Structure 1
Amino acid sequence: MRRADRLMNLIRHLRDGDLHRAADLARAMDVSLRTIYRDMDTLAASGVPIEGERGTGFRVTAAITLPPLNLSMAELEALHVSLAAMGQAQDPDLATAAASLAAKLDGVLPEMNAPNTLAVYPFADAARGFQHLPKIRAAIRARQKLSLSIAGRDRTVRPLQLDYWGRLWTCVVWCDTTRKFDDLRIDQITGMRVLPSLFVEEDGKRLIDYERLVARENEAFVAPDHQP
């Protein structure tokens, strides 16, 4: 498994907000404890709001704050989209101002503790996906299907929820093509088309079904006799 894929799988396990022991995560990923500790350090450096430490366990927190403001997901999305657009502006002063604002945000957002708000390893191209956020959000509200191109493959999906992981946006979808849930990185989308067809909630294809699936998978990896 590629490291970037493993990091996304770790986010998927941690997204429930519960405390997960390193030993359980290592068993789930089929890697060593040392690798899990390195991965946790990498995710934290990439802006993912990781809490915990060796010997106790790790969790992802959902708080996104800009003292003295509290940002909603929609407001944070608007901020990222605006910064990405201004960073590509032909006006050098505007582009410089966007870079300066990004640097200032890095200094006050506890989730963003690495330089350059618009790009950081291991998700260095995260800004590429910002252009898709408004359409995805609209499709979630309207329950509209999307045709996505990712890694040279086209798939039809039902977008269910956008999530933000410290510079990285993902979207939980039910994929009509593969007939299963997926948690897609927005920056990996190379093409997107809004389809005329709508979808209704169906058992086994809802967001709550995805959350239950993740919870069951996490429970399956809990080993009470293992130490974190």
Structure 2
Amino acid sequence: MLAMEPTGRLRVSESSSRRGSTQTVLSNHHMPDHEHLFKKLLISCCDSCERRRGSFFYDSRTEDESDDGAETDIETSEQSFEEKPYKESSNSVLRLLANMYFNKIVLPGMEYVEDFVDFLIDAELNDLPVLKRACERYLCGELNTKKDLLTSLLLDLLFMSIVFKMPVMKSMTLSELSNRTEELSQPDKLLEDDEYKVLDKRIRSLSDRNLVELIEQCVAFSEQRNRVQVIALST
């Protein structure tokens, strides 16, 4: 679960479902071979699904078939109908594998925001959006259950959601931050704190933005939401 240390850094405490002996945690922490094999399996499954989906659209018509346009349309329709259940089942398998990999292998070794950032970068480099979604599901679940997170952590999560294109988490963090505009009214003053300095540095290193611009986006969203509420009340 998400928690904040006195230093202001994010720590992932173990939930009761994952809590075990110290030896169990250490065993999970030192399984590079298992982790590597699981990751290779996930990548292979993604590649296989892409090839299988591509084969459904491969044009293998014979000369006789190409003479009959109506017959071709029927075949195309049959291919689309056949592909749908396969795509749904393959997506379910990928989600299951991704959730197992993230929750059982990756998450026990995560302690700080930087760990999540490194994981998401790795998922991007390996073209594994299914792992990004698994990470987003976990973080959104934590956001749903914790309403007392520090503003600096919410800004950190918002920035992650923007960089790695996680729309659900972006919506959740923006909504929460839009209720804290008073705290965000003086961004220059916030930058006097070490935790915000670290966040600003990370934002600059991963994008062409800075913390002040991120805060301005939150304030703009809050103003826009307030205008919509006023219009709704007046109609």
Same fold flag (TM > 0.5): no
Structure with more of its chain in helix, by fraction: 2
Name the TM-score, length of structure 1 as normaliser: 0.26
Query: As a proportion of its length, which structure holds more strand?
Result: 1
- So what's the TM-score if we normalise by structure 2? 0.25
> For the pair shown, which has the larger CA radius of gyration, 1 or 2?
2
